[in-house]
Amino acid sequence: MRKFIFIPNKIPPLKTKEEKAEIEKKILQEIEATKRSIIELRELTKPIAPDCAIGRVSRMDAINNKTINEQALRKAENKLKGLNITLQNMDSPDFGLCARCKNEIPLGRILLLPHSRFCVHCAGRL
């Protein structure tokens, strides 16, 4: 029978300067891409003028697409907020730690989802 040792309040090593520089570069790239996406989505979510000469079915399609684009816009705006918060918190001692379990978030996950505050295990439980 194996025994497991539980160490409360285990503090993992902080990210190295190189890792933080790589993360910061990725966050800045994501911020720029998200800003461009928001500009495009705002253009696509403008009101559909009732005087446009399109058919009834085409108007319904346009309204449906507008609704989908509005949801994508909200999601992109939330992502941008999360990226900016992450960028501000990079020097925090809790940076790179899961907000729920306080375990270290792997570098690969941070690079893929820099705005995520949770490890894979905890994110799956939300």
Model confidence at 126, in pLDDT bands (50, 70, 90)?
confident
For the residues of 79-95, what is the DSSP string, one character each? HHHHHHHHHHTTTSTTT
Q: What letter does residue 16 receive in the DSSP assignment?
A: P
Residue 102 within a domain: no
Domain of residue 55: give its range. 17-94
Q: Residue 36 is which amino acid? A: R
Residue 23 within a domain: yes
Residues 38-61 pLDDT 10s? 999 999 898 866 666 566 677 778
Residues 3-37 pLDDT 10s? 545 444 444 445 678 888 888 999 999 999 999 99
Please report the pLDDT score of residue 52 as a whole number.
Answer: 60
Model's pTM, two decimal places? 0.75
Residue 25 within a domain: yes
Domain count of the fold of the chain: 1
Residue 107 within a domain: no
Residue 57 within a domain: yes
